[in-house]
Amino acid sequence: MDAMDVPDNVLRKSNDQLNENERQHVAVAIACAKVLDALSSSPKIKEELRKHGVVFFMSRFLQSTHIELVVPIMGAVQQCADL
């Protein structure tokens, strides 16, 4: 969960404006989003993700300017829509 806690200002900056450390934060967030997308197909795991507060991070990621982050999160949201 801590890996997903990327500051909002980093999520809203374009890649050109990010320093190396911020780029790494975004890369980790993208990897987390891809994992969430893959895990969201299981009803049992979806419920566990919800219980552990992942929805909060998903909502923050959806506000990102990084399309590489938004696309997998949208996939996870679509799979979780029936929850």
**Where are the domains positioned within the chain?**
2-80
Q: What is the pLDDT along the chain (83 residues), one digit of tens a residue?
A: 788 899 999 999 999 999 999 999 999 999 999 999 999 889 899 889 889 989 899 999 999 999 999 999 999 999 888 65
For residue 12, the model assigns a pLDDT of 96
* Cα 1 to Cα 4, 16, 19, 58, distances in angstroms: 5, 27, 23, 11
Cα–Cα distance measured from residue 33 to residue 77, given in angstroms and rounded to the nearest whole number = 10
- Say what the pTM is: 0.87
* Cα 33 to Cα 2, 50, distances in angstroms: 13, 14
**Contact status, residue 29 vs residue 41, Cβ threshold 8 Å:** no
